C-alpha cells in the first residue's frame, strides 16, 4: 500500500513508519513538526526509497491535496496529544484534532482513497469505575484533549455515513515505548528518575491506566487498516491495568532510584480515575498484544538510558517553561 500517515514524526507515528516500511509499504509522512514532532524519530528511515516527508498541517487543504496524490490509504495520527497541555492552553486542540481531521477527511474523500483510519484514544469514553469500555459505549470525554479527539471520531464516522467513505476508527489505550515525548507519565518519570529529579504524582496516584506497548498499538492499527469493516470502531488495549503508583515504583526500581523522589502534587482537574478497554472485536481480526509489560517497560527504560542525546535537548528551552507552568507550586506539603 501507498500510505499517507500524518503525525509520523511523533511517538506512535514514528513507530508506525518503521513498521509500515518493514512490511513493504510506501509511506508519505505528513507532519507539522509541532513541539512533539521530531525529525530525529525517523532519521533511520529518512533515506529509504519507500519514504517521503511532507512538512505541512493537516488543516491545510492544499498541502493535504498535494500529499494525497498517488496515495491508497490514509492513517491519521497527527494530533495535539497531551491532556495537561490541553488544560493549560486548549486552543490548538480543536484546531488540529477536530478541524484538521475534517479537512484531511474531505481531501481524502475527494482524492478517492480506499480507506481512512482515524487513530483515536480510549479517553473519548471518559472514566469507568469497573468493567471495560466497548466500542458502542457513549462518548463522555473529560478533558479538552479527549473532547477534541471525540470530535475527530465523530467527523470520521460522519464521513462514512454521509459520503459512504471507507472509514475505520481505532481507540488505543495509554501507550509507552521509545521516543515518547517526556511530558507523558512514563517518559517523564523515567527521565526525571535518571536525573534524580522528583517524580510528580497527581493526587493519590491510585488512578488506573491500561498500558500498551507502542509496537502492539501500531500492529492494532494495521489490523484495523487491513481487516477492519468500514464504519466500525476498534478498541486497541493492552489488557494491562496498573495504578500510577505501581508504574512509579517500577520505574524507580528499573532506574536504581528510591521512593524519596516521589512527590505528591495537586490532582489534575477532571482527572479520569480509570480506563479499561474490551478488545475482543479487534482480536477477532487476528490481533493480540505481544509484549509483556515488565519486558516492555524494562526495554523502554533501557532505551532512555542509552539515548540521553535524544531527550536532553528536548528537556531544555521551551520545555522548561512548560514544566514550570505545569508543576510549579503544586507540591502537596509533607509529601
Ligand atoms: P505525539 O504528540 O507524540 O505526536 C503527534 C505528532 O503529530 C507530532 O509529530 C506533531 O508534529 C504532529 N502534529 C500535530 N499537529 C499537527 C497538524 N496540525 N498537522 C500535522 N501534524 C501535526 O502523539 P502520539 O502520542 O504519538 O499520538 C499519536 C496519535 O495516537 C494521536 O492521534 C493520539 O491522540 C493517539 N493516541 C495516543 C496515545 C498515547 O498514549 N500516546 C494513546 C491513544 C491514542
Ligand atoms: P498521561 O501520561 O498524561 O496520559 P493520560 O492522561 O492521557 O492518561 O498520564 C497518565 C497518568 O499519569 C494519568 O493518570 C495522570 C498521571 N500523571 C501523573 O501522576 N504525573 C504526571 O506528571 C503526569 C504527566 C501524569
Residue 256 has which C-alpha cell?
536504581
Contact between 160 and 231 (Cβ < 8 Å): yes
* Whether residue 142 has its Cβ less than 6 Å from ligand 2: no
- The answer to whether residue 328 is domain-embedded is no
| Residues paired with 265 in a beta bridge | 202, 331
Which residue segment(s) compose the domain that 4 sits in?
1-320
- Going by alpha carbons, the residue nearest to atom 3 of ligand 2 is 184
* Whether residue 199 has its Cβ less than 6 Å from ligand 2: no
Q: Which tens digits make up the pLDDT trace of 139-172?
A: 999 999 999 999 999 999 999 999 999 999 999 9
* Whether residue 170 has its Cβ less than 6 Å from ligand 2: no
pLDDT at res. 313: 96
Contact between 202 and 268 (Cβ < 8 Å): yes
Predicted confidence band of residue 243 (pLDDT cuts 50, 70, 90): very high
pLDDT at res. 332: 87
- The answer to whether residue 163 is domain-embedded is yes
- The answer to whether residue 230 is domain-embedded is yes
Going by C-alpha positions, the residue among 17, 24, 10 that lies closest to residue 221 is 17
* Whether residue 45 has its Cβ less than 6 Å from ligand 1: no
Q: What is the mean pLDDT of the chain?
A: 98
pLDDT at res. 335: 67
- The answer to whether residue 2 is domain-embedded is yes
What 3-state DSSP class applies to 141? coil
Number of domains in the chain: 1
d(CA 277, CA 142): 17
Spell out the SS3 assignment of 39-86.
HHHHCCCCCCCCEEEEECCCCCHHHHHHHCCCCCEEEECCCCCCHHHH
- The answer to whether residue 284 is domain-embedded is yes
pLDDT at res. 333: 79
- Going by alpha carbons, the residue nearest to atom 12 of ligand 1 is 7
Residue 322 CA to ligand 2 center (angstroms) comes to: 15
Q: What's 262's domain CATH number? A: 3.40.50.720
d(CA 220, CA 223): 5
pLDDT at res. 318: 93
pLDDT at res. 273: 98
d(CA 134, CA 128): 11
Q: Which tens digits make up the pLDDT trace of 191-228?
A: 999 999 999 999 999 999 999 999 999 999 999 999 99
- The answer to whether residue 228 is domain-embedded is yes
- The answer to whether residue 326 is domain-embedded is no
Exposed (0-12), middle (13-18) or buried (19+): which is 319, by Cβ within 10 Å? middle
Phi, psi of 5, rounded to the nearest 5 degrees: -105, 130
Q: Which tens digits make up the pLDDT trace of 81-102?
A: 999 999 999 999 999 999 999 9
- The answer to whether residue 330 is domain-embedded is no
Maximum distance among all Cα pairs of the chain, rounded to whole angstroms: 60
Predicted confidence band of residue 256 (pLDDT cuts 50, 70, 90): very high
Percent of the chain with pLDDT over 70: 100
Residue 288 CA to ligand 1 center (angstroms) comes to: 23
Specify the DSSP element, H or E, that contains 220. helix 214-227
Residues marked as catalytic: 122-123, 145
Count of residues in the chain: 335
Amino acid at each position: 500500500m501507498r500510505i499517507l500517515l500524518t503525525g509520523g514524526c511523533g511517538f506512535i507515528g514514528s513507530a508506525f513508519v518503521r513498521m509500515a516500511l518493514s512490511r513493504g509499504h510506501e509511506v508519505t509522512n505528513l507532519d507539522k513538526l509541532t513541539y512533539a514532532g521530531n525529525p530525529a524519530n525517523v532519521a533511520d528511515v529518512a533515506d529509504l526509497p519507500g519514504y517521503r516527508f511532507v512538512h505541512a498541517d493537516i488543516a491545510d487543504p492544499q498541502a493535504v491535496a498535494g500529499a494525497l496524490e498517488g496515495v491508497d490509504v490514509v492513517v491519521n495520527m497527527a494530533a495535539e496529544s497531551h491532556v495537561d497541555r490541553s488544560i493549560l492552553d486548549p486552543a490548538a486542540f480543536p484546531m488540529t484534532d477536530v478541524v484538521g481531521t475534517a479537512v484531511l477527511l474531505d481531501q481524502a474523500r475527494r482524492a478517492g482513497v480506499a480507506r481512512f483510519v482515524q487513530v483515536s484514544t480510549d479517553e473519548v469514553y471518559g472514566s469507568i469505575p469497573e468493567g471495560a469500555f466497548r466500542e458502542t459505549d457513549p462518548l463522555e470525554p473529560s478533558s479538552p484533549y479527549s473532547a477534541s479527539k471525540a470530535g475527530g471520531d465523530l467527523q470520521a464516522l460522519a464521513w462514512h455515513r454521509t459520503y459512504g467513505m471507507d472509514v475505520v476508527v481505532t481507540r488505543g489505550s495509554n501507550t509507552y515505548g521509545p521516543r515518547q515525548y517526556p511530558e507523558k507519565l512514563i517518559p517523564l518519570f523515567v527521565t526525571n528518575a535518571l536525573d534524580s529529579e522528583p517524580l510528580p504524582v497527581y493526587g493519590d496516584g491510585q488512578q488506573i491506566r491500561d498500558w500498551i506497548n507502542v509496537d502492539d498499538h501500531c500492529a492494532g492499527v494495521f489490523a484495523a487498516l487491513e481487516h477492519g469493516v468500514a464504519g466500525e470502531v476498534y478498541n486497541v488495549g493492552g489488557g494491562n491495568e496498573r495504578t500510577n503508583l505501581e508504574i512509579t515504583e517500577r520505574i524507580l526500581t528499573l532506574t536504581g532510584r528510591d521512593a524519596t523522589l516521589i512527590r505528591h502534587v495537586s490532582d489534575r482537574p477532571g482527572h479520569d480515575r480509570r480506563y479499561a478497554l474490551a478488545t475482543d472485536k479487534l482480536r477477532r481480526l487476528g490481533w493480540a498484544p505481544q509484549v509483556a509489560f515488565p519486558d516492555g517497560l524494562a526495554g523502554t527504560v533501557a532505551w532512555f538510558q542509552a539515548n540521553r542525546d535524544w531527550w536532553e535537548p528536548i528537556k531544555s528551552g521551551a520545555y522548561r517553561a512548560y514544566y514550570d507552568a505545569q508543576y510549579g507550586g503544586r507540591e502537596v506539603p509533607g509529601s
